Structure 1
């Protein structure tokens, strides 16, 4: 999906549509606050959360620094387990490999567990183009598939919909009116998908973590659908971003502690499946043929980059979205790409070849640092957003008005006389536009800002001016002070200036 496919050509335009959608704003706010509060409670109950965050960060830093070694180790061990391992340098290559497998096994249907990589590759559309039906089996993914939409959140794809909208979608699928009761709706989906599981030719999954020491892949889920996807169909295809590697099962303990608490506030996910190869002779179930496609698609471009390599540390928990004040107001679709929120604002330009198309996405941030505080592996996303803005300007793609404004700001702030003059002129000029203590004008540079808030007016008196007045009052008081006390204060001041002063404990 390009940045122009979600109802507007820029983030500003798409955000404007979202801000005018009162239902969407309430739905996103409600769910993100619940997730954020759950994460906060889970971290507090854990006790030493920051120590574990640092452990997670060190594991990810080490793994990405030695990514080539761990990828090769994983691939070698997976092949020993009977897995067909493919490396795809581009998204197009990953899609081509997937379609070749589907054609070879003459697949008619594919059941999928939740996978952001397949969303990134638009794999459902590619499968449909060769006559293969792809069915999402995660409840949220199934809902938005019926709606013809893309995920609005990494963890909760249908975060922007309520049970009434969902009931309408499922009623259309059922051919009868279903009540907006979550138990009834979930029951209908369970029955519908059970039929799909049993008839599917291929099961397709993403990958939360790949264990290098054994060639295993691990899935986290809460619904059990991924276990059906990985056990019932005869052929399994797993698509994983190349950065999903961790060295050992011992490292998984750290990630299994950090990810669910950060994502949903759970101590553990309901299901955590470790899969090591296809079905063996003694196994009661499992795929007869298993493929793992390791996807680069722009990820390797971040390796060796001191500003963006840590981007590959991400464990896709979605905590930064729940903490971000921008995401909580506009939702995920306003970002225009597969990944939304702070991680999407950095990851999307990083993965895309046409970076200029995504220049505005880094501006969808307040740079408050809430994403860093929420991140379980301490990725400095707020700093990366600044790096992206700087690179845009350095490449000559900056906003002309903004560039002129910053040059003017530098010229004024770099000279005290110009600064004081600008303040005086500003206080005089603002009288034309100040109303009820603020500037409410909706034209020019203030149009976007004042559409949703009021620009503050300049204070009648600056801090420096107030300080000068205070100094004059102090001097006046000193002149009227008892001569003895005045002398003592002046002597103390001289001693401080000469470096002889200290804390007095004996005098009162």
Structure 2
């Protein structure tokens, strides 16, 4: 199913989300839990800031020499027996993967969680070609069944509570209703087991790609990740070019950072390192491995003022602390990537004309910067996008008129004083709007303006 982009309807999406009590309760509980777990997970780690500094330095090194690291990875992966494909854009990625699968007669595809595959709308393309695509991550499985897009890059079904999932499973799978998470997990596992055993191919993403060995690195908490990459004879991995790290020797720092930042775990249940297809004597592994490296605008971003967003390691920590995301949820953003990092990527990858409302989806409080494990300057990047939005003429006409009026008033003491008096007279009316308006929670203005007492 193609979910399309609804970023231009961000305000309408947000109003609808804020009226959904179940959604807001689920978001508050889940993001609050992840925030607490993150704090607890980092507490015993010595020299956390030094760890973040090293990770930042590694990501900076990669961006400085990204084309060289990509070429090094391609050479290393090819030597290891993989076939590497370059995809300039989403359409190219879809066509490459569809051809790999169709040439081998693959009809049933099992998938691990991959936000890049969501970015290129891979599932819809393969389904249109007559293939069955089954998401095997539990959260992805739930939302695929519901016909929805992920609302969080780590926890796709974060917006669902267990009662909603229990009702969905009862309706779609014909099982007795239960809202016990363990029971629901067993139901999903049983339904997916047959899919794994009969799959013609597996598709995965990757968290990192080591340039020196041509290895793919996957962090997962469910056994599905290894099943997808080892049970079918054919494994296709899709990842964006900035996922490079110089060497497998750089991986330990990210093993310590990513799980703690993402889910508050010291380490994920599985860290898989895949170097080429199965070789003689290997107990497991796909017989054929294809790796699709997606650009889709990254090279252009790398050359611009917002290149730092490519340091992001997709942990989702910025979403868990963002007051906007926690209030309106991921679907309000209208595209693949929500939250602070998401609104930046959305604007850069889809263009300001298609995304300008979401650029305002930040309070600029800086909580996202504080938790980012690789020190991406998210607030600075958002401010740059807002300046670009104004330059390109996408700011709200009402905002432009209001700021122009304020500018004239601020330049004239007489008009400014008149405006203050008018605002004082109108304030009781504004206050009467009450709880549905932010003004209903604002303090009354001072009786004597500050500028009268200023020296």
Range of TM-score over shorter length: over 0.9
Q: CA distance change for structure 1 residues 460 and 266 in 2, over 3 Å: closer, same or farther?
A: same
- Partner of residue 343 from structure 1, selected from 341, 344, 347: 341
Deviation at 1:39, TM superposition (A): 1.0
Unmatched segments (≥5 aa) in structure 1: 443-447, 469-508
Kindly indicate whether the alpha-carbon contact (under 8 Å) linking 2:6 and 2:335 is maintained by their aligned counterparts in 1.
Answer: no
Which residue is equivalent to 1:308?
306
Query: Which residue of structure 1 aligns with residue 398 of structure 2?
Result: 401
Q: Which has the higher contact order (CA 8 A, sep 6+)?
A: 2
Provide the C-alpha distance between the structure 2 equivalents of 1:363 and 1:246, rounded to a whole number of angstroms: 32
Taking the TM superposition and a 5 Å limit, the aligned residue runs for 1:192-341 are: 192-305=191-304, 307-341=305-339
Do the aligned partners of 1:77 and 1:213 also contact (CA within 8 Å) in 2? yes
Give the root-mean-square deviation of aligned CA atoms: 1.9
Structure 1 Cα separation of the partners of residues 360 and 175 of structure 2: 45
CA distance in 2, matches of 1:451, 1:356: 29
Q: Quote the residue 1:462 is aligned against.
A: 449
Between the aligned partners of 1:408 and 1:425, the Cα distance in structure 2 is 13
How far did 1:177 drift? 2.0
Flag the 1:334–1:155 CA change in 2: closer, same or farther, 3 A. same
CA distance in 2, matches of 1:67, 1:388: 23
Match of 1:428 in 2: 421
Give, in angstroms, the shift of residue 404 of structure 1. Answer: 2.3
1:171·1:177 contact (CA, 8 Å) conserved in 2?
yes
1:204, distance to aligned residue in structure 2 (A): 0.5
CA distance in 2, matches of 1:174, 1:449: 41
Contact 2:82 2:276 (8 Å CA) reproduced: yes
CA distance in 2, matches of 1:449, 1:71: 51
* Whole-angstrom distance in 2 between the partners of 1:382 and 1:312: 15
**Distance across 2 between alignment mates of 1:452 and 1:164:** 36
Radius of gyration: which is bigger?
1
Match of 1:188 in 2: 187
Whole-angstrom distance in 1 between the partners of 2:178 and 2:356? 44
Show structure 2 runs of 5+ residues with no match.
Answer: none
**Partner residue of 1:358 out of 330, 355, 359:** 355
Q: Distance in 1 between the 2:105 and 2:384 partners? A: 47
1:433 deviates by 2.8
Contact 1:3–1:10 under 8 Å retained in 2: no
Shift of 1:78: 0.3
Number of equivalences: 453
* 2:42–2:48 CA contact under 8 A, matched in 1: yes
Does the CA contact (< 8 Å) of 2:431 and 2:439 recur in 1? no
Partner of 1:388 in structure 2?
385
CA–CA separation in structure 2 for the residues paired with 1:453 and 1:56 = 44
Question: What's the CA shift for 1:308?
Answer: 0.5
**Alignment-derived partner of residue 135 in structure 2:** 136
Alpha carbons 2:6, 2:333 under 8 Å: kept: no
Deviation track 1:374-426 (CA, whole Å, cap 9, x = no partner) reads 1111111111111111111111222222122223333444x4xx34x455324
CA distance in 2: counterparts of 1:395 and 1:449, whole angstroms = 32
Contact 2:109 2:131 in 1 (8 A): yes
Q: Take 1:308 and 1:240, find their aligned partners in 2: how far apart are those partners? A: 20
Structure-1 separation of matches of 2:203 and 2:219: 14
Distance 2:107 2:240 in 1: 26
Aligned to 1:445: none
Q: Distance in 1 between the 2:25 and 2:341 partners?
A: 22
State the alpha-carbon separation in 2 of the partners of residues 254 and 184 from structure 1: 36
Partner of 1:50: 49
User: Would the aligned equivalents of 1:440 and 1:450 in 2 still touch at CA under 8 Å?
Assistant: no
Corresponding residue SS for 2:267: coil
Q: Helix, strand or coil: the match of 2:265?
A: coil
Give how far 1:343 is off.
0.9
CA contact (8 A) 1:314 1:377 kept: yes
**Which stretch shifts more, 323-332 or 364-373?**
364-373
Between 1:119-128 and 1:459-468, the stretch displaced more is 459-468
- Please list the CA deviations of residues 435-456 of structure 1 after superposition, one character each: whole Å capped at 9, or x if unmatched: 39x63459xxxxx982685455
Using the TM superposition, give the Cα deviation of residue 51 of structure 1 relative to its aligned residue in structure 2, in angstroms.
1.6
SS at match of 2:109: strand
Structure 2 CA distance for aligned equivalents of residues 430 and 40 of structure 1 = 44
Give 1:91's aligned residue: 90
